[in-house]
Amino acid sequence: MDTTIWLESLLTKTPQEGYELAIKLSRMGVKSTQPDMEVLKKLRPVYANDAAGLTAASQVIAINFQTISAANNYWK
């Protein structure tokens, strides 16, 4: 497992930056779960055309965005 620190903070300047961080968190979660890039590339055509899979991915991003929003006091 890669021990490089890539997430130093959940704090962002704007909600847009927070949303982009939520996407990155979600992608990093997939990468951590399936570290074999060849397998990821092989599976991409399957989930890229699956409405349920895309909806689930959107839900993960939304949950991460909720966490980041709370950490940023909802940018008040």
The answer as to whether 40 is a domain residue is yes
The answer as to whether 53 is a domain residue is yes
The answer as to whether 15 is a domain residue is no
Average pLDDT over residues 54-76: 97
Q: Which residue has the higher pLDDT, 2 or 62?
A: 62
**pLDDT tens per residue, range 29-64:** 999 999 999 999 999 898 889 999 999 999 999 999
| pLDDT tops 70 at residue 1 | no
The answer as to whether 27 is a domain residue is yes
SS (H, E, C) the chain: CCCCCCCCCCCCCCHHHHHHHHHHHHHHHHHHHCCCHHHHHHHHHHHHCCHHHHHHHHHHHHHHHHHHHHHCHHHC
**pLDDT tens per residue, range 16-32:** 999 999 999 999 999 99
Q: What domain count does the chain have?
A: 1
